[in-house]
């Protein structure tokens, strides 16, 4: 039996919300989806700027969280390109997608050419 960690009570995406918003998630084993949601949450929190204490998680960040869950799942299913690890045990390594990064840290203002 697999032990699944209970998700923290905050405004980030939950496993249940991921299942509602992403049809493919319904077919996944619950422990796998919970792990993907937790890992993507950690990555998004590390990349996003700090929120003020008690501030709600912006909608764009929640969307980025869902997109990162999907990206992690895709990378886990993908072929042997860009892999690391000893023979027979490889891990596909993909950076966070630039769309996800822009949702977490949008570009502000208009660049000025002098």
pLDDT in tens, 4-47: 555 666 889 999 999 999 998 888 888 999 999 999 999 999 99
50-54, 83-87, 93-97, 105-109: segment of lowest average pLDDT: 83-87
Alpha-carbon Rg of the chain, whole angstroms? 16
- Name the band, by pLDDT with cuts 50, 70 and 90, for residue 96: confident
| Mean pLDDT across 75-99 | 65
Give me the pLDDT at residue 27, please. Answer: 84
User: Does the pLDDT of residue 1 top 50, yes or no?
Assistant: no
pTM: 0.75
Q: How far is CA 25 from CA 12, 55, 62, 82, in A?
A: 17, 28, 16, 25
Give all strands (DSSP E) within the chain, no chain letters: 83-84, 91-92
């Amino acid at each position: 039996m697999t032990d699944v960690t209970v998700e923290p009570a905050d405004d980030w995406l939950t496993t249940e919300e991921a299942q509602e918003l992403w049809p493919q998630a319904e077919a996944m084993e619950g422990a796998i989806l919970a792990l993907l949601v937790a890992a993507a949450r950690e990555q998004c929190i590390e990349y996003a700027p700090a929120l003020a204490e008690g501030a709600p998680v912006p909608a764009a960040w929640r969307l980025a969280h869902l997109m990162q869950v999907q990206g992690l799942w895709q990378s886990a299913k993908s072929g042997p390109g860009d892999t690391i690890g000893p023979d027979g045990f490889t891990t596909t390594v993909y950076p966070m997608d630039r769309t996800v990064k822009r949702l977490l840290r949008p570009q502000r203002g208009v660049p000025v050419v002098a």
